[in-house]
């Protein structure tokens, strides 16, 4: 209730400020310099209702300007000027002028009279003038909307929730189910990834052990190569030593060179000497 009352008061103040320039309320801001130095722009004047017969020359009156005259002479809707002539020949009419300008090009009728200026308040009219501008009107509208949203944020949120429950309940329920399914799938995926990670770690350990074994075999192979090279060196050295200590073998003179050349003696067949000849040669060979 308090929020609604505050909002209504603010709206009423804005509407009053907007209507003040239209002459609908008993006060009006000064927005020109036609009455300087009596009135300055931004001053607020209070309008007192009086009878047209009470107006005399020198009084400052507030009057409205008909639309046709306003459009023709480019005048504001409401004006406050000083009376310079009062005509009573064909009814009461007034001729007016500004203290800082010339005489107005039209006659003020009695029915257009709003009243007479009674009081003046300096600088209070500036906010009302701002409300009359286009920028001020936009600012007021935006400010009122933001204020309404702020004051009724809880109600708007509650209404939004009700609308969501009523219109989007199936969609929300389906979204929740989808979220649950996705959460379950994510949990399963995390479990599978955990197992896969453990398997990778075990495989890495096995791979590290195999790598260590291969490195050991490589080192053993190098040691074997070194041992084989040393063994070859030892065998080579042994061969050299054996070659130096081997006894020299005297050359054997062939039998043909030792045996004297014996002429073959031919004997007649059946002779005893022909049988003993080989024995003689054998003896000669032995003797040699």
Are 64 and 80 in contact by the 8 Å Cβ rule? The answer is no
Integer Cα distance of 175 and 178 in angstroms: 5
Helical (H) or strand (E) element with 257: helix 255-258
Of residues 248, 246, 258, the one with CA closest to residue 285: 258
Sign of CA dihedral 48, 49, 54, 59: positive
Residue 8: its pLDDT value, please? 64
Task: Give the pLDDT confidence score for residue 61 in this predicted structure.
Answer: 93
Q: Is 97 helix (H, G, I), strand (E, B) or coil?
A: strand
**pLDDT one digit per residue (tens) for the chain, 288 residues:** 555 565 566 666 555 555 555 555 677 888 888 888 888 888 888 888 899 999 999 999 999 899 889 889 888 888 899 999 999 888 899 999 998 888 999 999 999 998 999 888 888 877 777 776 677 677 777 877 777 777 667 666 766 666 656 666 676 677 788 888 888 888 888 888 888 888 888 888 878 877 887 887 888 788 888 888 888 888 888 888 887 765 554 555 555 555 555 455 555 555 555 555 554 554 544 444
pLDDT given at position 17: 55
Class of domain 2-151: mainly beta
DSSP for 172-222? HHHHHHHHHHHHHHHHHHHHHHHHHHHHHHHHHHHHHHHHHHHHHHHHHHH
By C-alpha distance, which of 80, 79, 83 is closest to 118?
Answer: 80
Task: Give yes or no for a contact between 273 and 267, defined as CB atoms under 8 angstroms apart.
Answer: yes
Residue 37, preceding bond cis, omega within 30 degrees?
Answer: yes
**pLDDT for 86:** 93
Task: For residue 40, count CB atoms less than 10 angstroms from its CB and return exposed for 0-12, middle for 13-18, buried for 19 or more.
Answer: middle
Confidence (pLDDT) at 270 = 56
On the 0-12 / 13-18 / 19+ scale of CB atoms within 10 A, 131 is buried
Assign 149 to helix, strand or coil.
helix
């Amino acid at each position: 209730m308090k929020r609604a009352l505050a909002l209504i008061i603010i709206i009423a103040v804005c509407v009053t400020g907007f209507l003040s320039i239209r002459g609908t309320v008993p006060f009006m801001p000064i927005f020109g310099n036609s009455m300087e130095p009596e009135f300055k722009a931004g001053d607020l004047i209070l309008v007192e209702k009086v009878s047209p017969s009470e107006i005399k020359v020198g009084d400052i009156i507030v009057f409205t300007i008909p639309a046709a005259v306003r459009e023709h002479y480019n005048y504001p809707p409401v004006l406050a000027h000083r009376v310079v002539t009062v005509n009573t020949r064909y009814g009461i009419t007034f001729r007016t002028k500004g203290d800082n300008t010339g005489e107005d090009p039209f006659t003020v009728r009695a029915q257009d009279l709003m009243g007479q200026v009674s009081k003046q308040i300096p600088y209070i009219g500036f906010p009302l003038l701002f409300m009359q501008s286009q920028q001020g009107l936009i600012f007021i509208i935006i400010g009122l909307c933001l204020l309404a949203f702020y004051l009724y944020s809880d109600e708007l949120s509650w209404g939004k929730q009700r609308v969501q429950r009523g219109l989007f309940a199936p969609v929300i329920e389906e979204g929740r189910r989808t979220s649950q399914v996705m959460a379950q799938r994510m949990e399963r995926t995390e479990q599978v990834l955990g197992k896969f990670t453990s398997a990778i770690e075990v495989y890495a350990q096995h791979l590290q052990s195999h790598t260590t074994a291969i490195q050991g075999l490589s080192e053993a192979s190098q040691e074997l190569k070194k041992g084989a090279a040393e063994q070859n060196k030892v065998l080579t050295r042994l061969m050299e030593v054996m070659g130096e200590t081997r006894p020299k073998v005297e050359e054997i003179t062939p039998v043909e060179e030792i045996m004297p050349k014996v002429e073959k003696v031919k004997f007649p067949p059946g002779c005893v000497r022909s049988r003993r000849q080989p024995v003689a040669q054998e003896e000669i060979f032995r003797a040699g």
